[in-house]
Amino acid sequence: MPGPPPLTVLCLHEAGTTGAIWAPLAEALEGHATVLAPDRPGWGEAEPPDGYSRTTVTEQAGFGASQLRGLDGPAVICGAGIGAVAAIELAIAEPHLVTGTVVVEPPLLSFVPEATKQLSADVTALRDAVTSGGREAALNAYLAGRMPALGPGAGRIPPDLADRGQHAASSLFAELSAIPAWERTDAELAASTRPSLVVIAADSPSYLRTAGRELSRALSRAGLRETEPGLPHFDRAGELAELVVEIGDTLA
């Protein structure tokens, strides 16, 4: 009797890094899953589209969908940062491509009203950085964690995996407004048919802890899981791999 189909996992990285940040997860899943961890447009080796000045969560989800078409069956979508929100969008928009999602520290600050004041301060800091040193200075400030609402948790990206390449600064600016502009309603989230695990760490920034908790409540068939301290998809890849396999077991 044939066994379950092989598990495929598509990983969508956050702003400020590349698909390489998923290497520990791919290693942890070796023998259990085929892991796809592409660089998203404008990051790493991936060229940005012509005239790339702004993107949307829908566009990023479409990029994810393009990696899955032609595969033998649906995949688990694992995402962090904007990649986490794109994973949820992909599961809602094209559920036939998705077994389920594992979303790491989704920065949905629409669930965090107390972040409004900090967002305003971050926008001012962003403008000041651009004025003093251009977009590269703003990227450096973002990666240093000096924008706790615009880039919650960005300072935890390992320095050797932070992307400061040719297109990184312009890609960051293209993505900054994508999550605030995402327009899925509470009813649409509640109607999602694919299982999700929302993942935070014991030391996740407070905005991300709140956003993760509220998203897990808004989605149907969702659970909230907490890893040990560290960036869940990098420092706690073994724990995250167990959650990916748990979601993947819904294929059986």
Mind listing the pLDDT tens digit for each residue in 107-145?
A: 999 999 999 999 999 999 999 999 999 999 999 999 999
The mean per-residue pLDDT over the stretch 158-173 comes to 97
Query: How many Cβ atoms sit within 10 Å of the Cβ of residue 183?
Result: 9
**Exposed / middle / buried, residue 1 (Cβ in 10 Å: 0-12, 13-18, 19+):** exposed
Percent of the residues in the chain that have a pLDDT greater than 90, as a whole number = 94
In this predicted structure, the answer to whether residue 65 has a pLDDT above a threshold of 90 is: yes
User: Per-residue pLDDT tens for 87-110?
Assistant: 999 999 999 999 999 999 999 999
The phi, psi pair for 167, rounded to 5°, reads -105, 0
The mean per-residue pLDDT over the stretch 77-82 comes to 98
pTM of the predicted structure, to 2 decimals: 0.96
Are residues 101 and 87 in contact, defined by beta-carbon separation less than 8 angstroms? Answer: yes
Question: Average pLDDT over the chain, rounded to whole?
Answer: 95
Task: Assign domain 7-112+174-251 one CATH number from 3.40.50.2300, 3.40.50.1820, 3.40.33.10, 3.30.1600.10.
Answer: 3.40.50.1820
